Structures are given as structure tokens and as C-alpha cells.
Amino acid sequence: MIIGSAIAATMTASIAMAASWDMPTPYPEAEFHTKNVQMFVEDVAKATGGSLSIKVHSGQSLFKHPEIKRAVQTNQVPIGEMLMANLQNDDAVFGVDAVPFLATNYADAKKLWDAQRDLVQESLSKQGLQLLYAVPWPGQGFYTKKPINSLDDLKGVKFRTYNAATSNMAELMGAVPTAVEAVEIPQAFSTGVVDAMVTSGATGQRTKAWDFSNHFYDLNAWMPKNMIFVNKSAFSKLNADEQKALLEAAAKAETRGWQMSEDIASASTEALKAAGMTVEAGSSALVDGLKGIGTTLTKQWLENAGDRGQSLMKAYQN
């Protein structure tokens, strides 16, 4: 009887010590970022023997994308995922990967992240948050119903954007910026809210862009990153083994996620072609026009980022 009571008490104590976290993410389960998150939480559960379990709430089902950072910061949830550049109004260092034609391939995107990471962590830490890992989207391109040969063809077009950086770009192109989250893209096109968009080949494939657009301009204009971050107070309440497991799973997820992104970049472009879309790199007039906008946005970014931005850019370009 005494032994049985002792076992029961031990089990009760173990259950009480187990941590269960809710994790909001902005993208659907079919998106490669979310698949990587699922593998991340499985690695955490396995490494901790179940003492730390994380339930993923994908597709904005728990919090809308713009609400996730605040939800984690106020510890409504201890962990979350979001597009890093969405926070550039908080601190410009978050938005450097959304500057057109600054980093247009995975090698340069990795070099940019190496220059950016410590500044991102510094900024998050001041807000009670801790970076776990970040993974880039494949290069961004344009989806349109009609062919475009230059920026003039986008003037007045209702253009899907997803943060301040893409909205600013759309305005400079003469398009009409219209904020639409990734989960809402098909509906936005079908209801006439937008007629063109900027996003990756991966998102185009997942949303079956061939149902509402005919052309994909594979510009690789920039490679924005999603980041996964945790509330510092919640992290501090984990025991040392759980903290170690979380950080090791995060490092593994970052390495895996970059490879997943690179793999899907080429696969999604082929899928768009196979579905009947016209896929091309874009005319020299279009690319030159966008590079000109990229130069303007780079100058704006450097002005907003100040000395820290200058330091980041110097580290990236050296």
C-alpha cells in the first residue's frame, strides 16, 4: 500500500512538472515551414521524454499573424512563429531580408542572416523574447493574370502585399497595395480583392495559383525569413535539460528548414509549369525597374536602421 502510494505520488509529481505549450503559426499545415515546425516539436518531445510538449496551432487558428508577436511577448502563449520582416516597424534590422535584390540566392541569404542574427536576438531580448531559429522562403516572384513587360503594366493593379516592405514596394511600382495573409490568397483573387501578388513559388504551389493566375515571374527578388521565438520568462522556467533540448531541436530545425526551402524552390517552379502556368525570369525592363526600386528601398532601410544598419550591411558586404 505504501509502495503503491509512493508510485502514485511520483507519477503525480511528474505530471505536474510536465510543461505543455501552445504554439501559434501563421501558415497552413501543408506549408513547408509548418511541416518543419511539426518536426521541431516532435524532436523536443522526444528529447525531453515528453516533459515538454508543444501543440502547434497552424493557419492563424489561435492568433492572427499580426497578433502572434504580442501574444508571445505577453506570455499568452510561450512560443510562436512569424515572418520576421513584419516587425521592421519595431526595428529596421528585422526587415533587411525584405529589401529587393539585396540577397537573391541561398548563399547570399545565409551570409545576410549571419550578419543579421545577433542584432535580431538583441532586439528581441529587449522585448522579453528569445530567438530559436529562422528559415527563409524561396525567392519572391510576381503572379499575374496578364503578362507584364515593365513596371508600367502594374500601375493601378490591385497588388497583394503582406507587410510594410512589400506595401512600400507596391506603391513605388504604382500598384495598389492590398494586405492579404497567405491563408486568404485564393479567396482574395476569386473575389477580386487582388489581381496580382508577390510571394514564393512554394506558396504559389500550395495555393494552386494556376486556378487564379496565368504567369509567374521567378524573380528571386528577396528571400524573407520566418522566425520561431520564445518568451524568455517561459524559457527560464524550463529545467536545464529541457532548455538544452529546445535549443538543440531549434538548431536542427534551422539546418533542416534551409534545406527544405532550397529543395522546394526548384520543385515548386516545376509544379507551376506542369500545371500550365507560364514561368519566366522577367524582361530586362521589368528587372531593371525593380532593381531601381531596390536601390531606393536599400537607402530608405539604411536611413531607418542607423548605425546598426550600417554595421550589418558592412558585415554582409565584406
Domains of the chain: 20-137+225-269 (3.40.190.170), 140-221+277-317 (3.40.190.170)
Mean pLDDT, residues 191-205 taken together: 95
pLDDT tens by residue, 37-73: 999 999 999 999 999 999 999 999 999 999 999 999 9
* Helix 240-274 × helix 106-126 angle, to 10°: 140
pLDDT tens by residue, 285-318: 999 999 999 999 999 999 999 999 999 999 999 8
Confidence of residue 180 (pLDDT cuts 50, 70, 90): very high
Residue 18 has a pLDDT of 79
The CA distance from 293 to 56, in Å, is 38
48 CB-contact burial (10 Å; exposed 0-12 / middle 13-18 / buried 19+): buried
Residue 278 has pLDDT above 80, yes or no: yes
Using an 8 Å Cβ cutoff, are 103 and 217 in contact? Answer: no
Q: And the C-alpha cell for 268?
A: 515548386
Residue 4 has pLDDT above 50, yes or no: no
What's the whole-model pTM score?
Answer: 0.89
Mean pLDDT, residues 135-153 taken together: 96
Instruction: Determine how many CB atoms are found less than 10 A away from the CB of residue 243.
Output: 16
What is each CA distance from 182 to 179, 254, 275, 310, in whole angstroms? 10, 22, 20, 32
Confidence of residue 108 (pLDDT cuts 50, 70, 90): very high
Mean pLDDT, residues 133-141 taken together: 97
Chain-centroid distance, C-alpha 180 = 15
The CA distance from 151 to 165, in Å, is 17
Confidence of residue 256 (pLDDT cuts 50, 70, 90): very high
Alpha-carbon torsion 127, 95, 121, 129, what sign?
positive
Residue 10 has pLDDT above 50, yes or no: no
To the nearest 10°, report the CA torsion of 98, 99, 104, 106. -40
